[in-house]
Structure 1
């Protein structure tokens, strides 16, 4: 398995922050090279060795993608700025007492392993086979989860989407699909302006963005330009925003992108963050009808504790399954033995449910069952389950699906926009000193 294939399935940036201090070995009859501070970020410092380690990792990543590397001084500046923002967020999280407990970390690792279609041991071996230290990988994941929780508390918790916004979205955007494609692969470059920027600073940023647009239209490589020039969050990925449905495009570009042809460049587009340049890399159509499969389900739950371990829980459920297959009444056994008190009183009944209404392991087991079939014991974070599907039906869920998706999309748009502003405010208000020789 190639490294780029593995990390295609891993939606987080933790492995880019494997930091350490490197002291070159002394050469005979020559002075030792001393490390130095290249940046101060509030209470923390960034050493030249740390920066070079990160730059090396980014160079390998860019090289593996087949893209041409920007000049070293440009790459160092970009990477250093990302490191500064990372340190500032980490300090804020620590001041607020944000921590990730071992169980949360374990569940995150299990989720990553499942996304790669592996168990945890296989996932660990895959990480080590890629030349990474697994303990460092886990530590970086804990840090990234902590920063995600920080951003959720600082930004996500403040985001609200009203029913009126959802209705307006469906009327103006959600019900229509462009004849040029329902999904768009976008590239993005941001030339940022500082908070409360002077008219002169704004004009300078605008002129810089206009010059970049002109050069891009003359054939300058967008991917490399984003790496070297963009202040956006995806700069080191060449400004790649990935595939997005029309309704998931940032509000600022929502009315522009559907009228673009493949390869078109648009900008500069003004926003509170600065001046944006976008490129339509590709577009494709989409199906606007959404069908949902519902299952009429009942279950028996056995929880683990100090007395009942996993093996004992499985044994108890296997005995119950054997009794049910021999003709005993499922409902009576659920009432007597299930530890899900809400459903036990109803004979284990969960009613009609969709896969997204339950945790993934339960949904996966449920989806594999035929009507009337009884599952083997299934483990979820809640304990061990015996599951039975009584009936199945498929219905058109398009309207409800669109409403749900509209709320998610509007929320994500606001989160992206507010996160960008929050990070710039955090950077602007912090004490930062940069000593980077160009």
Structure 2
């Protein structure tokens, strides 16, 4: 394949790519518009504290991943995937109609319930999203396909947050937000009608609706397959790492860099585009193969650039405090440019790290278990993101600054990389072989 982008013009991949991208886009338009309203117009919605709500509401979106991921994995293995995707997109239309009523009636209860239901929507779609690819792509196309999906997801998240924040700031925000999320949901359903058939691998499976027992069963199953289990831990760490950094970008821009929303959007945009670039580069750097060597190279880059990012933001903070009236963009030297370069390279290395891990899950899981492997991975991802919030709160309670938090996270990333190589020596062997080949 000359370019991974060739897949976008093919029916086996293109409609699926745009459908999943619009789903991620709509999630973030709705979430961000809601949180923007809660943050800036709390009094019109509730008497509760706005800051507390802005912290708790994202938890409502994550909660369904714990409750329903195990069942979602079974459904994706039992039913034909294109029809399942269309059912999920119809559910999204219904949720957005409900959310629209909530916006127009200024009902926080309805909006919170809609946010929870959008979490259910994403939970149901997740196992289908990654188990669809091995059914329609050749083994040597999985890296390209996953790279495009990761690129599309991060760009969709970014654009969704930007549009959601803008919609939430409008005077007629309720009307325009309601129309926007409904139109996006309908567009996603329309595109999903072109997704080709994907026969279920185990239609005879009996769905266990008990999330606790099914989750325990899955954990036991994949614990016995250490290659898959270590990959799930590695992917979940990526979301811990990313959530720890990205959650602090708004506070970093405002309190450390003494900047504005524009600086926050710049940091978020550069990181998201960086992940997209790194994800697409995986196909070229791996030459169409499953290349685990990129995981360790990506991990090394994540630590190096997160550490440098911590140092430069710490230096900027000290300079701004020492010279009142000085602004970020008027600092002597190239601290501003170095910081943005760190963010871009951090995102690129994150893309190199994450894509081969998803390819590993898809290529080494048994066909009848692929969706349940992804479901187990989603549960772990959600757990690690919750832990990242607790980790940050704990360190802030100890007096750690935001730049210091980034530095500590960079050091922890080194320990995680060592752990991965210890538990699964294939990662270390792969990176050594990769560097040896490229060094010739």
TM-score by length of 1: 0.25
More helix by share: 2
Over alpha carbons, which structure has the higher Rg? 1
More strand by share: 1
TM-score (norm 2): 0.25
- Considering Cα pairs closer than 8 Å and 6+ residues apart, tell me whether 1 or 2 has the greater RCO: 2
